Structure 1
Amino acid sequence: MTVHEVTPSIDPNTLLPGAQFADAYRVEVEDRGLNARQAAERMMARQPRWAEALLTLRNILVTPFGLKTSGAGSTAPREMVGIFPIVSEQPERLVAGFNDKHLDFRIVVDVATSGAAREVTATTLVLTHNWLGRTYLAVIMPFHRLIVRSLLRQVAA
């Protein structure tokens, strides 16, 4: 089960107009009946402990800046996948994410049939709003790549 970085194949302007960053990773799975929600749920079911520790540290560090944290309540209950609100959902694509003061982001989970298997692709889109968003993105990028690969491995496991 190898996770491959691939060129994003979605139009970012339809999901997050003005997005300045996009990346995508793909893994092949044997489960031909897998839909996008199931793939997203497998991805977000649990994070590696090191990723949970990073998220806890992130929440501590961003609180003084008034940024959203994963434990923050929202004004209106929404359907969630892991810690992320679902923006839209179809059998072949689930879009989750939110908007914040420093940046807006979406994670797009696509599933497609490829021969005898299913391909699951996780695409991340980011639109930064200010220096804090650009700095935040630069700091988390090395961790983001590791986390997405790790979460996709869970889909194939």
Structure 2
Amino acid sequence: MWKVTARPIPKNDFLASMRTKHSFRDALSAPLSKPTLSAAKAQLSIFSHMPKWVNTLMSIRNKIVKYFGFKVGTTTSLEMKKTDLKLGDAAGFMTVISVKDHEVISFAEDKHMQFYMSVTTDDQQTTVSTLVNLKTPIGRLYMALITPFHWVIARVVIHNAVKEQRL
């Protein structure tokens, strides 16, 4: 049923070079039915279609954490009208900092954490990898509380993209 699998954390990629002492890192892969799909289009295919319950949870989260100095987005998913991502584009609450045919890296930062996301593609799969560098005790507490939600949401959103043949 689930087409999303946890992957070993890459040790020699860009995100690994940005990792600090207090951090969270994961990597999830899913099969591609569109082998020529670029990483930018894969990112849009995954994150432009959030389930309503995810949008609701993110809205509640944003209302709470903004009082603690966390960066919050004005939208919970990527703009549906975008067809590609370019350097400097907004990608949800993040900014695209690197675009290559087979990898897109997005970044966001606030006083508690730095958040990186890499989306890669090859002929058979796409991999979404996140790195969160935790800069403060509040950031570490937040990550401890949010990790179970991240685990479920990331898998559901990627799985839905596979199931709906957007990847």
TM-score (norm: length of structure 1):
0.86
Equivalent residue in structure 2 for 1:49, among 32, 35, 52: 52
State, as a whole percentage, how many aligned pairs show the same letter: 25
Q: AA paired with 1:5?
A: A
Distance (whole Å) between structure 2 residues aligned to residue 36 and residue 109 of structure 1? 6
Distance (whole Å) between structure 1 residues aligned to residue 9 and residue 96 of structure 2? 20
Report how far residue 10 of structure 1 moved.
4.7
Task: Give the corresponding residue for 1:144.
Answer: 150
Task: Give the corresponding residue for 1:75.
Answer: none
| Structure 2 residues not aligned, in runs of 5+ | 76-87
Q: AA paired with 1:151?
A: V
Report how far residue 143 of structure 1 moved.
0.8
In 2, are the aligned partners of 1:98 and 1:104 still within 8 Å (CA)? Answer: yes
Equivalent residue in structure 2 for 1:98, among 108, 117, 121: 108
- Verify: 1:27 aligned to 2:30, yes or no: yes
Distance (whole Å) between structure 2 residues aligned to residue 5 and residue 148 of structure 1? 11
Distance (whole Å) between structure 2 residues aligned to residue 69 and residue 120 of structure 1? 26
Q: Deviations over 1:52-107 (max 9, x none)?
A: 111111111112112211129xxxxx402344211211010001121111110111
Distance (whole Å) between structure 1 residues aligned to residue 142 and residue 104 of structure 2? 25
Q: How does 1:1-157 map to 2 (within 5 A)?
A: 2-11=3-12, 12-14=15-17, 16-18=18-20, 20-71=23-74, 78-113=88-123, 118-156=124-162, 157=164
In 2, are the aligned partners of 1:41 and 1:82 still within 8 Å (CA)? Answer: no
TM-score (norm: length of structure 2):
0.81
Distance (whole Å) between structure 1 residues aligned to residue 106 and residue 136 of structure 2? 22
